[in-house]
Structure 1
Amino acid sequence: MTVANDEQWPTPFKEWLTRTASAADDIADSGVRRLKRRFGHEDIPKIQPYMGYATSERIYLHGRVLTNPPIDSDYQTDHWWRNLQNAVQRFVSNEVPGVTIEGAFDGHTATTTSDSEGYFHLTLDRPPQESAAFWDMAKLRIKNHPRARRESDQTTCHLLSVPSEAKFAIISDVDDTILHTGATNIVTMAKLTFFGNARTRAPLDGVAALYERLQCEDGNTPINPIFYVSSSPWNLYDLLEDFLELNAIPRGPLLLRDLGFDENKFLKSGHEHKLDKARRLIRAYKHLPFLLFGDSGQEDARLYAAAAEEFPDRIRGIFIRDVDPMISSSHDAKVDQYVRQAAQAGVPMYLIKDSVQAAEIAAEHGWLDRDALPTIVQATRRDTERPPV
């Protein structure tokens, strides 16, 4: 839901519209909550946790407080009308602001308060550790809320810890990089968003095998972290998390976009936040080089070229999936200029047609063991021949 790019709107009008929309949204939400309290129908707040991640010094946890968190779907039997009902529930969220949340891990705790749209972010100090599990669990709970219930006021969230033997980290886009979305066609994208589910979404051919071998040098033990950034809103978090699991794509923290009306949210480009999140990750993991994956259909090449100029010594390579590899298109011409821009910064950017080509390039640079190539070729061929869902 990208309304417009910043430069298309006169600054004074944009600021006025942002303030007006934000105020109207806050008034409407607070009005609904007052009515529910008055008639005794105030809902019970619950935590929707998002995957967290840890550096050697800090732990980052986040999530959202809602009274109607997404429900588990039955992907085998759900029909289009059930998918539509679930999609509507995701976007008609009942957020709960002002809730105190406590996060805890390994004896360390911190508290924060949910914002006007129910989002919260927690940062915990982390003591030095000789070793840690690649995946661990942190705890989240609601503190001192009159409507909270013991059975629903606490939850756990997955926490990614990067091992000392990690060789690099991956930042990957989602739409048309690992997941077919038809982002260049608004009708196709809307159909998939509102009438499909995690099972009906198709992964890019061979992407599961490619990412698994980039993450696990031996094919079994994960050492290299993968972070997923997307212009999709946080409302689709549960669907994307399920998509990764159902398609055996290595899981990793999903960093999505807020569709709220607050400053820096409303009328802001739906893609710029991906560069902001990439910056934070690169700065957080000072000892790791990065590989970036995106696609040619949106703004990934431009954003990643800007990242290459800003962090030329930290980014080893950039892979851009060609959304229309069978033809030469305007997308290719647009990527070409950013290939040159990244090259001037000393960072190679590759426009790739499929997972096999990405694997071959990664093997040439030593980012991937050559023994993994047959597995990725076979997986890509199998996925190509897979009948549509």
Structure 2
Amino acid sequence: MSVADNHEWQQHFKSWLTRTASAADDITDSGIRRIRRRFGREGVPKIQPYMGYASTDFIHLHGRVLTNPPISADYQSDRWWRNLSNAIQRFVSDEVPGVTVEATLDGQRATTTSDAEGYFHLELPRSESRDHVFWDIATLRILNHPRARRQSDRASCGVLSVPPDARYAIISDVDDTILHTGATDIATMAKLTFFGNARTRAPLDGVAELYEHLQRDTHGVPTNPIFYVSSSPWNLYDLLEDFLELNAIPRGPLLLRDLGFDENKFLKSGHDHKLDKARRLIKTFDQLPFLLFGDSGQEDARLYAAAAAEFPKRIHGIFIRDIDPDLVSNHDAKVDQYVRKSAEVGVPMYLVKDSTQAAEIAIEHGWLTPEAITPIQNATRRDVKRPEA
């Protein structure tokens, strides 16, 4: 068997194995739901909303229908066993397929149906008379489900609306770009995921101040949208949303990944879904240039260089955080090749050691005003001295 034939056979086998596992997963979920119905243990469906965003023509909303959505955590008193219990609940999700969900905003309405994993996506026509409010709120509710309850069948969903005077949009990775995850070390990553919470997770030094200045205009008004992409599963959505709030990092839509066996889901290897999400955002907001932020620990440099090759006039700059700034490592060498590839299409890519260096480069390009450097420097120095939680 030739090398090409062997590779093709491996790809066919991998695809077959994925489809088989996906089918088994669906059958198992369906069987569990039948048993619960038989014993009257179905649970009450509730909506877990995800932050949405408004484009020129549509308001994009999504979320999930579960009978066990994440509970609000008490970050001051939670201990490791409570964090572990919450983490297990996040991953043992009890999704509800086939539920009709209605969304309302500015008098516009739309409905959709949750899929086999409980996820739903819908688009509302954007009202022509809609005011340009940076953050708005849409209302979601469950329609005509026999177990829905009036007091729990509704949810509010934050909607990011890009104002006409936005100068650029930001796409930022999460893991080891704004949040210490130890993504290059499986043991460390598992420990942080299962035994920590949003309060114990540490942000990158100075990142809150850097992103706040990037988001705001010269008058301090939130103007430039930030979108967060991550290989983390949607099961961690509430933890990441709380992390942004607790650490005063500007909020923005979190675009995560489904946890499942399908070809396009979390158990598939690689991080290319982040490129797909970046591509969709760049096409959706076709009047805005983009700044991209990632880290050197995973595939961000490769993915962003690919985006630069596809959209060289739309991407104005790429920042890659060095996960080991005190060392010359294989990560640096890997990034260097994509720095060169990005430069070939006219898009600068920078390997930066911290938020201060990123701010200095942004000021040189006019993406930040010179006045931003002092507070970002101070915040970076302060965070370096921050005790571990």
Range into which the TM-score falls when normalised by the shorter chain: over 0.9
Aligned to 2:3: none
Q: Following superposition of structure 1 onto structure 2, how do residues 17-32 of structure 1 map, counting pairs within 5 Å?
A: 17-32=17-32
Contact 2:259 2:267 in 1 (8 A): no
Quick one: distance in 1 between partners of 2:47 and 2:202?
29
Cα distance, 1:220 vs structure 2 = 3.0
Q: Per the alignment, do residues 28 and 130 of structure 1 end up closer, same or farther by CA in structure 2, a change over 3 Å counting?
A: closer
Residue 157 of structure 2 is aligned to residue 157 of structure 1: yes
Aligned to 2:333: 333
Contact 2:229 2:277 in 1 (8 A): yes
Aligned to 1:70: 70
Quick one: distance in 2 between partners of 1:199 and 1:267?
27
Residue 247 of structure 2 is aligned to residue 250 of structure 1: no
Aligned to 2:273: 273
Aligned to 1:217: 217
Q: Following superposition of structure 1 onto structure 2, how do residues 310-349 of structure 1 map, counting pairs within 5 Å?
A: 310-349=310-349
Contact 1:131 1:163 in 2 (8 A): no
Q: Which amino acid aligns with 1:265?
A: K
Report the 3-state secondary structure (helix = DSSP H, G, I; strand = E; otherwise coil) of the residue aligned with 1:139.
Answer: strand
Contact 2:262 2:268 in 1 (8 A): no
Q: Per the alignment, do residues 161 and 218 of structure 1 end up closer, same or farther by CA in structure 2, a change over 3 Å counting?
A: same
Aligned to 1:184: 184
Contact 2:180 2:202 in 1 (8 A): yes
Segment of structure 1 superposing worse, 98-107 or 234-243:
98-107
Aligned to 2:372: 372
Cα distance, 1:211 vs structure 2 = 0.2
Task: List gaps (5 residues or longer) in structure 2.
Answer: 1-6
Q: Per the alignment, do residues 219 and 375 of structure 1 end up closer, same or farther by CA in structure 2, a change over 3 Å counting?
A: farther
Q: Which amino acid aligns with 1:334?
A: K
Task: List gaps (5 residues or longer) in structure 1.
Answer: 1-6
Cα distance, 1:217 vs structure 2 = 2.3
Quick one: distance in 2 between partners of 1:296 and 1:290?
19
Q: Which amino acid aligns with 1:212?
A: E
Quick one: distance in 2 between partners of 1:159 and 1:232?
21
Cα distance, 1:366 vs structure 2 = 0.2
Residue 93 of structure 2 is aligned to residue 93 of structure 1: yes
Q: Which amino acid aligns with 1:347?
A: V
Report the 3-state secondary structure (helix = DSSP H, G, I; strand = E; otherwise coil) of the residue aligned with 1:283.
Answer: helix
Quick one: distance in 1 between partners of 2:219 and 2:362?
15
Contact 1:170 1:224 in 2 (8 A): yes
Aligned to 1:239: 239
Q: Which amino acid aligns with 1:115?
A: D
Q: Which amino acid aligns with 2:364?
A: E
Segment of structure 1 superposing worse, 15-24 or 189-198:
15-24
Cα distance, 1:93 vs structure 2 = 0.4
Segment of structure 1 superposing worse, 128-137 or 183-192:
128-137
Segment of structure 1 superposing worse, 25-34 or 257-266:
257-266
- Give TM-score, length-normalised by structure 1: 0.96
Report the 3-state secondary structure (helix = DSSP H, G, I; strand = E; otherwise coil) of the residue aligned with 2:101.
Answer: strand
Percent of aligned pairs with the same amino acid? 74
Task: Count how many residue pairs are aligned between Structure 1 and Structure 2.
Answer: 383
Aligned to 1:41: 41
Aligned to 2:108: 108
Q: Which amino acid aligns with 1:222?
A: P
Cα distance, 1:70 vs structure 2 = 0.2
Q: Following superposition of structure 1 onto structure 2, how do residues 296-311 of structure 1 map, counting pairs within 5 Å?
A: 296-311=296-311
Q: Map Cα deviations across residues 80-137 of structure 1 (whole Å, 9 max, x no partner).
A: 0000000000000000011111111111111111111000101111122463210000
Residue 286 of structure 2 is aligned to residue 286 of structure 1: yes
Aligned to 2:11: 11
Quick one: distance in 2 between partners of 1:35 and 1:325?
53
Report the 3-state secondary structure (helix = DSSP H, G, I; strand = E; otherwise coil) of the residue aligned with 1:10.
Answer: helix
Quick one: distance in 1 between partners of 2:29 and 2:114?
14
- Give TM-score, length-normalised by structure 2: 0.96
Aligned to 1:3: none
Cα distance, 1:219 vs structure 2 = 6.2
Cα distance, 1:9 vs structure 2 = 8.2
Q: Map Cα deviations across residues 332-389 of structure 1 (whole Å, 9 max, x no partner).
A: 0000000000001110000000000000000000000111100100010111111111
Cα distance, 1:266 vs structure 2 = 6.0
Q: Per the alignment, do residues 129 and 8 of structure 1 end up closer, same or farther by CA in structure 2, a change over 3 Å counting?
A: farther
Aligned to 1:385: 385
